[in-house]
Amino acid sequence: MDAFWQHPAVIMTGYYSVVVLCLIVSMAIFEAVTRYKNWQEIKNGNMAVAFATGGKILGICNIFRYSIEKNNSLPEMLGWGLFGFILLIIAYLLYEFLTPSFKIDEEIAKDNRSVGFISFAISIGLSFVIGASIS
């Protein structure tokens, strides 16, 4: 039975399943943090929300990619991935704080694609920094 649990396909399936679950939970948390309804806005064609949400998804997956690569166990991978996700949320809140001339969430909800794209770029860019820092 040990050979089964050590098979690369079984290990990959385990990591994949955990990351998909973490992605679902992460997106639910982002949904609670933002003032707009991500999936409803995307359904309505709001490209700014699509950019921002896509950046969050790619950022979270990128953090977990680094976490899988640098850790040898599922609990370590999960711990570092979740810590990276928390840092990504903090970055999002800092982005809102550091732009006092307008509200990020309001601009994204109004389909301001420039703000949505910058949100996308911040999420992706910082995910590389966070990922590279994972030990």
What confidence score (pLDDT) does residue 114 get? 96
Examine the pLDDT at 22 and tell me if it is beyond 80.
Answer: yes
**Dihedral of CA 65/66/72/77: which sign?**
negative
Contact (CB, 8 A) for 74 and 10:
no
User: In the chain, what is the straight-line distance between the N-terminal and C-terminal CA atoms, in Å?
Assistant: 31
Mean pLDDT, all residues of the chain? 92
- Calpha distance 125→127 (Å, rounded): 5
Angle at 61 between CA 55 and CA 37, to 5 degrees: 45
- Calpha distance 129→106 (Å, rounded): 27
- Calpha distance 66→15 (Å, rounded): 12
> What is the tens place of the pLDDT at every residue in 51-76?
999 999 999 999 999 999 998 888 99
What confidence score (pLDDT) does residue 87 get? 94
- Calpha distance 53→39 (Å, rounded): 9
What confidence score (pLDDT) does residue 70 get? 92
Contact (CB, 8 A) for 111 and 47:
yes
What confidence score (pLDDT) does residue 4 get? 83
Examine the pLDDT at 96 and tell me if it is beyond 90.
Answer: no
Find the mean pLDDT for residues 79-88.
Answer: 93
Q: Which residues contact 89 (CB under 8 A, 6 or more apart)?
A: 29, 30, 33
Examine the pLDDT at 84 and tell me if it is beyond 90.
Answer: yes
Examine the pLDDT at 135 and tell me if it is beyond 80.
Answer: no
